[in-house]
Structure 1
Amino acid sequence: MGPRRVIVRLQVRRYFCDRKNCSRKTFVEQVPGLSERHRRSSTGLTGWLRSIELGGRPAARLCRRLRLAAGRTRLLRLLTAPTVPDRAPRVLGVDEFAFRKGCTYGTVLVDVEAGRVVDVLPDRTSETFAAWLTEHPGAEIICRDRATAYTKAVREAAPHALEVADR
């Protein structure tokens, strides 16, 4: 259809349940490959939006350029967590980030060689990072900032690893 916007108007049958103890009062017929329960868009559009693999404002800007109807919060909801490998990557990058600036901080773990996120930890404490390192052995080089929590965790959980700290 090119740059034109397409709206599909789909009529489906709605079924009603007569039993008193039924938790769902109505049922709607689904069209395989086109619709899913509680979706307000097609499965094809949802697949396109998931393939963007961005969230927030950058993804919303890209969607506007591609003429896809999606807001930043919808794109954030479509993001899936990366699969956490059993072993840590050979070169592991560690840094903190703000879930909410000034209030809540987390830790992001990155495979430096592959350039992808390995895991996101819910806080920036040494106990959480040390527990992750013991569960996922194999990091030979750990790149970190000069936070004392990360230094303590590396000494406890991976004393053999080479530490590389920025200024």
Structure 2
Amino acid sequence: MPSGGRRVVLCLRGRRFLCPVISCGRRTFAEQLPGLTRRYGRRTERLRSTPAAIGLALAGRAGARLASVFGVSVSRSAVLRLVEALPDHEVPALRVIGVDEYATRKGRHYGTVLVDVQSRRQVDLLPGREASSLAAWLAKWPGVEVVCRDRALFFAEVAAAGAPKPVPVADRWHLWHNLSKAAERCVADHCGCLQVLASDPAQHVPPSRRSPKISPARPGRGDTASSTVPA
């Protein structure tokens, strides 16, 4: 990691141990410093974790640009390799999952994303959006009770593909989205009826609030034209 905007290189001196057993395939063992180095590592642990955290937030190209601002020289490919090397988080017991599709290339290549609704964390990615692949995945997780999905026919065919007992429900976003679209269509269809029922707003204005009438006075000799306005 840089210090004061300058790149810092640590020179470490470690011990190398020799195994006296001839049949040992390792023969030599290098000393490691916990929290600082690892086997076959060319970076410190902090220099590995920082670009990896940036890559999780911004991916490769943008992550490499931001890392260079911090004084860390790393390529976008190295950022992606650090992200791929991160261990997978342990998935807890799933009870309610959300299922939706994503596109790697819109109109051609689609996949399925599975999200734990309770923890709001991504669980798995399926390479396709076939009902059989989702049914096979649900068979591996018998504890799943509810599946939140949209109204696509792909997810409706999962039950026919031999999926276990999870109850399919429509997720909250699609319910509100469908309700807003239905209300918008209803208002658009009856827009003419609303215009007929609406009365002239000028009829409901009381006489005291109406704008006063201006009556021009007749100019006489030596007088200029003027107008009288009631007080």
Same fold (TM over 0.5): yes
Distance apart, 1:38 and its partner CA = 1.6
Distance apart, 1:11 and its partner CA = 1.6
Q: Which moved more, 1:43-52 or 1:29-38?
A: 43-52
For the pair 1:151 / 2:153, whether they are aligned, the reply is no
Q: Aligned residues: percent identity?
A: 33
Aligned to 1:35: 37
Aligned to 1:130: 135
For the pair 1:94 / 2:100, whether they are aligned, the reply is yes
Give distance in 1, aligned partners of 2:168 and 2:125.
Answer: 20
- 5+ residue gaps, structure 1: none
Aligned to 1:51: 53
Aligned to 1:72: 79
1:100-139 matches, cutoff 5 A:
106-111=111-116, 116-134=121-139, 135=141, 136-139=143-146
Give distance in 2, aligned partners of 1:126 and 1:2.
Answer: 55
Give distance in 1, aligned partners of 2:92 and 2:19.
Answer: 46
Give distance in 2, aligned partners of 1:25 and 1:159.
Answer: 54
Give distance in 2, aligned partners of 1:88 and 1:97.
Answer: 26
- The TM-score, its normalising length taken from structure 1, stands at 0.70
RMSD, aligned α-carbons: 3.5
Q: Tell which has more relative contact order, 1 or 2 (C-alpha 8 A, sep 6+).
A: 1
Aligned to 1:60: 64
Give distance in 2, aligned partners of 1:114 and 1:18.
Answer: 51
- 5+ residue gaps, structure 2: 178-231
Q: Which moved more, 1:45-54 or 1:5-14?
A: 45-54
Give distance in 2, aligned partners of 1:114 and 1:33.
Answer: 30
Give distance in 1, aligned partners of 2:85 and 2:73.
Answer: 14
